[in-house]
């Protein structure tokens, strides 16, 4: 349930075609249950897909350890890693992760949307989904978006060279926001005690559903999302929140706040202070 909807939907489409699709469980603290994960594997397993960083709650999963389990219990399987949320926040090495393929997305390092990269290790045979021009070594036909590719490459270079400084700035902003949550009645972190990236803070609030909080925050100049930004506006409950043990009512009150390297401590403190103000206002309306 932790995977991005694009991965889960693709897996479910394969299940409809007759493939046996299995999902690993999460621990209550947001970590991956590696014991139950290994039980899902066999010599018949052909593909394992695992994200490096959860896009909703920010959990960092132990992909290197997971890769060793895959090589031991499913030697015929390829390991695909969605590293989109890790770009610019973690040191990425496909070799050290033990993955066969690694997916990245440009907009996570402030490059133009619609550009991505698939990093491969060794001789990975990829059959194209569509056919025609044979661009990109025959893997994806169609005229290349040269401007997008160049912009992504430069943005990735800048993100890598400035990663440590950027991570410190994100962590300072996130820490300030978390401290401010102490003044918000009923607010709690979804992930507390297991590794997270400093760019994401997922919280559950008391009282009104997330959409109400979001509306009031936006009117005051603070943007957040209910779950991931990819699914913002959809009515489905987050599978991640439910997998963490939240009730459906609690899952409707989950919000995600994101922090960039340019986010200041003052901005993070203001966002938390606004939540405290709104909590008082909403409580007065509901009483």
Q: Which residues are catalytic?
A: 230
Distance CA 262, CA 172 (A): 11
**Which burial class, exposed, middle or buried, applies to 242 when counting CB atoms under 10 A from its CB (0-12, 13-18, 19+)?**
middle
**54 within 8 A of 82, measured Cβ to Cβ:** no
**55 within 8 A of 75, measured Cβ to Cβ:** no
**DSSP 8-state secondary structure symbol assigned to residue 188:** E
Containing 200, the helix (H) or strand (E) segment is strand 200-204
Q: Which residue has the tokens 């987050």?
A: 238
Distance CA 228, CA 234 (A): 10
SS3 208: coil
**99 within 8 A of 52, measured Cβ to Cβ:** no
**DSSP 8-state secondary structure symbol assigned to residue 189:** E
For residue 58, give the nearest of 189, 242, 172, 186 by alpha carbon: 189
SS3 107: helix
């Amino acid at each position: 349930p932790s995977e991005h909807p694009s991965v889960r939907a693709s897996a479910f489409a394969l299940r409809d075609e007759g493939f046996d699709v299995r999902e690993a469980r999460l621990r209550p603290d947001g970590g991956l249950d590696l014991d139950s994960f290994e039980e899902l594997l066999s010599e018949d397993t052909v593909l394992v897909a695992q994200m490096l960083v959860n896009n909703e709650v920010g959990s960092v999963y132990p992909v290197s350890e997971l890769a060793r389990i895959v090589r031991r219990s499913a030697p015929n399987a390829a390991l695909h890693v969605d590293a989109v949320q890790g770009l610019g926040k973690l040191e990425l090495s496909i070799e050290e992760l033990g993955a066969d393929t690694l997916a990245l997305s440009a907009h996570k390092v402030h490059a133009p949307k619609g550009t991505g990269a698939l990093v491969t290790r060794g001789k990975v045979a990829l059959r194209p989904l569509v056919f025609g021009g044979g661009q990109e070594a025959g893997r994806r036909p169609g005229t290349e978006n040269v401007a997008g590719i160049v912009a992504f490459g430069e943005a990735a270079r800048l993100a890598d060279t400035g990663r440590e400084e950027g991570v410190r700035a994100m962590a300072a902003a996130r820490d300030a926001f978390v401290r401010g949550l102490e003044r918000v009645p009923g607010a709690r972190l979804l992930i507390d005690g297991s590794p997270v990236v400093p760019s994401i803070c997922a919280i559950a609030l008391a009282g009104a559903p997330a959409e109400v909080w979001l509306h009031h925050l936006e009117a005051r100049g603070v943007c957040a999302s209910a779950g991931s930004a990819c699914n913002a506006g959809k009515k489905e409950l987050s599978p991640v929140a439910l997998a963490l043990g939240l009730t459906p009512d609690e899952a409707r009150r989950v919000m995600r706040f994101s922090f960039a390297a340019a986010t200041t401590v003052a901005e993070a403190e203001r966002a938390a202070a606004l939540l405290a103000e709104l909590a008082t206002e909403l409580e007065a309306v509901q009483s």
